Structure 1
Amino acid sequence: MSWTLRRRILLAGSLLAVTTSRHALAQAAAWPSQPIRLVVPFAPGGTTDLVARLLAAGLQERLGVSVVVENRAGAGATVGSEMVARAAPDGYTLVMSNIASHGISPSVYRGRIRYDAVADFAHIALVVSNPTVWVANPRAGIRTLADAAAKARGTGGLDVATSGAGSSNHLMVVRMGQLIGTELNHIPFRGAGPAMQAVIAGQVPMMSDSLPSAANHIRQGSVIAVAMASASRHPSFPDVPTFREQGFDLASDSWFGISAPAGTPAPIVERLNLESRAFLSTPEIVARLAELGGTPGDLTAQGYGEFVRREVALWAPLVQASGATPD
């Protein structure tokens, strides 16, 4: 290749990069000018959906455009996440990234999902984290984990519902079965809302759930809180003993954030991060999340991206050791 031709190729590449950069800046400057879609990769009624609707209302007020929540459940939260990974990177399609879709499912569904939890997303902000709680139908005869273990060892075993395969709650069920010494019957649903309704109706006796989606049901008495998977008793539910207090060395936190397709202009990502963190730091939202048992996040966009990367690396060997599979 001649030097003249090489220079022309390099110049063309430089001009393309400059043009692309200018287009991205212009796009970011005009953003937002239309409604934003916030995809929840679970059915309505669970923690992800609850947090998404709180955040959507806050961002809508701060950005001045509608933020519409859209539920796209299925396959351990990977269906809705994959849809967003393939969407246009223009800041108008976001996803509630979470411990299932962007932490655990990439290992549980290895070879079955068509997105990279790190590379295919521009991670924006950590929204909330919270512990797992196990609840039971009041008529199931389960008041303690010892009761649950006894039923699990009995004829027919013990059915435990979760928001879906690939969730942290799923892994809790697998690990609890290992500690008890008998496999628990994991009953996956397409979200925490449908799973909770099944427990309340008595169709499934027990559930492993994230605290925010279970909190009101516990307070109303429609389910009994059996154990909290936190290091110590939760201040909002001081009467609920931990797993460790009951002799089972288990602790688990769930987390939820927002992400966009990879390639979303950095100014849009930064604006969303700043607006989200500002909203999450308001006294009203801090109090509301505390009431539900959640702790608001406060990471930069870069910090959240690094957080997701660490979670993927953390859960891969744990999934393999647990033997958890899509079911």
Structure 2
Amino acid sequence: MKSVRIAATAVMFLGLSWNSQAQTFPDREVSLIVNYGAGGTTDVASRALAQGMEKSLGKPIIVQNRPGALGTLTPAYIARQKPDGYQIGVVTYSTVAIMPHLMDLTYTIKDFEFVAGFGRFRYGVAVNADSPYKTLADLVKAAQSGQGLFFGTTSAPNNLAIFELSRLTGAKFEHISYKSGAEAVTAVLSGQVQVIVQNPPDILPHIKAGKLRMLASASPMRWVEQPDVKTMKEQGYDVEIDSWLGLAVPKGTPAAIVNTLEKAALTAMADPALAARLANMGVDPASLSAKQYLDILEKGYIEMGRAIKAAKIPRITG
């Protein structure tokens, strides 16, 4: 009986301790761990958000980078941290909705409390401006005839657009993977590959310079910068890819702390100046609550699992 009372007292004390911490959170600096390297779009966008959140939290947010393993090192790290709100991770759509279908990971979507979503990436199918393929249909027809077309991308979900296109049409494409969008662009400009699927910052400058031509938006929407270029779906191919940026903390973080972080993120995203900064980086600003972001990730996990299985994309090993 005595041991039961001691256990109950310990649980009550722990609960009071968590409540006290939640009420005073944050009382020191907070760390934001970014899952890609310094200077990249995800990093710059995350730092901009952190600056906005500092105003609401009243404490500094120290940004650190943990790149590697296709962006999955940061989620793996965050899932192991103390659930006190002082370690926030940039946990993206690709790392919880796509990569679990392609890699053996130490975490699942259930290992996090999601805070907010703050950005959305767009994807475009582009060829060299001198390419004989003037339309997406031209590209598909050539690949169907066995011309041995090569496509270049950095990683998922970019490559899923062509894998799905190949599966739906019987067109034959060979994939070459690159470490960065800049490398993929160089490859299509030099003729190493015939087509790429990349983000606005990678290809828009080259479109404006007359070096690339965009055949389709691989996203659910057209690009505002290329309003006359239809989506893949609009062109008759049932293909679209998506990806989001968001924040998460370890599972078990008190709801009051998650709510504080969510409010800080959403308040920051309500600032038109921050939204403009993200847009200038090629990231569509978003202001998703914790629940909205989780809903997108859970739905995406199911949809991407089906697409990856249908496309017979091999798992990544080694």
Range class of TM-score, shorter chain = 0.7 to 0.9
What is the one-letter code of the residue matched to 2:265? S
- Distance of aligned partners of 1:115 and 1:232 in 2 relative to their CA distance in 1, 3 Å threshold: closer
- Conserved 8 A contact 1:159-1:185: yes
> Cα deviations across residues 98-122 of structure 1 (Å, max 9, x unaligned)?
221011111222xx111112x2111
**1:120 equivalent in structure 2:** 111
1:279 Cα offset (Å) = 1.3
> Cα deviations across residues 231-264 of structure 1 (Å, max 9, x unaligned)?
5533343132221343322223222211111122
Secondary structure of the residue aligned to 2:69 is coil
Q: C-alpha distance in 2, partners of 1:44/1:202?
A: 29
Correspondence for 2:135 among 144, 155, 161: 144
1:313 Cα offset (Å) = 3.1
The alignment yields a C-alpha RMSD, in angstroms, of 3.1
Task: List, as ranges, runs of 4+ consecutive aligned residues in structure 1 with deviation greater than 6 Å.
Answer: none
Q: C-alpha distance in 1, partners of 2:27/2:185?
A: 38
**1:228 equivalent in structure 2:** 217
- Conserved 8 A contact 2:149-2:194: no
1:216-255 superposed matches below 5 A: 218-219=207-208, 223-255=212-244
The answer as to 2:310 corresponding to 1:316 is no
- Distance of aligned partners of 1:15 and 1:208 in 2 relative to their CA distance in 1, 3 Å threshold: farther
Secondary structure of the residue aligned to 1:246 is coil
Q: How high is the sequence identity, in percent, across the aligned residues?
A: 29
The answer as to 2:250 corresponding to 1:258 is no
Q: C-alpha distance in 2, partners of 1:193/1:79?
A: 23
1:213 Cα offset (Å) = 6.1
Task: Please identify, of 44-53 and 213-222, the stretch whose mean Cα deviation from structure 2 is larger.
Answer: 213-222
- Distance of aligned partners of 1:197 and 1:69 in 2 relative to their CA distance in 1, 3 Å threshold: farther
What is the one-letter code of the residue matched to 1:144? T
- Conserved 8 A contact 1:39-1:96: yes
- Conserved 8 A contact 2:74-2:90: no
- Distance of aligned partners of 1:293 and 1:52 in 2 relative to their CA distance in 1, 3 Å threshold: closer
- Conserved 8 A contact 1:230-1:252: yes
Q: C-alpha distance in 2, partners of 1:200/1:25?
A: 58
- Conserved 8 A contact 1:104-1:168: yes
Task: Please identify, of 272-281 and 261-270, the stretch whose mean Cα deviation from structure 2 is larger.
Answer: 261-270
Q: C-alpha distance in 2, partners of 1:63/1:49?
A: 20
**1:178 equivalent in structure 2:** 167
- Conserved 8 A contact 1:47-1:192: no
What is the one-letter code of the residue matched to 1:188? S
1:191 Cα offset (Å) = 5.4
**2:314 equivalent in structure 1:** 325
Secondary structure of the residue aligned to 1:272 is helix
1:1-80 superposed matches below 5 A: 5=1, 8-44=2-38, 46-80=40-74
Secondary structure of the residue aligned to 1:76 is helix
- Distance of aligned partners of 1:313 and 1:26 in 2 relative to their CA distance in 1, 3 Å threshold: same
1:197 Cα offset (Å) = 6.0
Secondary structure of the residue aligned to 2:176 is strand
Secondary structure of the residue aligned to 2:123 is strand
What is the one-letter code of the residue matched to 2:72? T
Runs of 5+ unmatched residues, structure 2: none
- Distance of aligned partners of 1:96 and 1:135 in 2 relative to their CA distance in 1, 3 Å threshold: farther
Secondary structure of the residue aligned to 1:243 is coil
> Cα deviations across residues 64-123 of structure 1 (Å, max 9, x unaligned)?
4333433333333222211221123232222222221011111222xx111112x21111
Correspondence for 2:273 among 258, 275, 284: 284
1:174 Cα offset (Å) = 1.2
1:274 Cα offset (Å) = 0.5
> Cα deviations across residues 265-289 of structure 1 (Å, max 9, x unaligned)?
3222111100111111222234444
- Conserved 8 A contact 1:47-1:213: no
- Distance of aligned partners of 1:280 and 1:143 in 2 relative to their CA distance in 1, 3 Å threshold: farther
What is the one-letter code of the residue matched to 1:21? G
Q: C-alpha distance in 1, partners of 2:308/2:186?
A: 28
Aligned residues between the structures = 314
- Distance of aligned partners of 1:258 and 1:232 in 2 relative to their CA distance in 1, 3 Å threshold: closer
- Conserved 8 A contact 1:45-1:213: no
Q: C-alpha distance in 1, partners of 2:181/2:58?
A: 31
Q: C-alpha distance in 2, partners of 1:67/1:202?
A: 44
What is the one-letter code of the residue matched to 2:162? V
- Distance of aligned partners of 1:71 and 1:316 in 2 relative to their CA distance in 1, 3 Å threshold: same
- Distance of aligned partners of 1:47 and 1:248 in 2 relative to their CA distance in 1, 3 Å threshold: farther
- Distance of aligned partners of 1:203 and 1:64 in 2 relative to their CA distance in 1, 3 Å threshold: farther
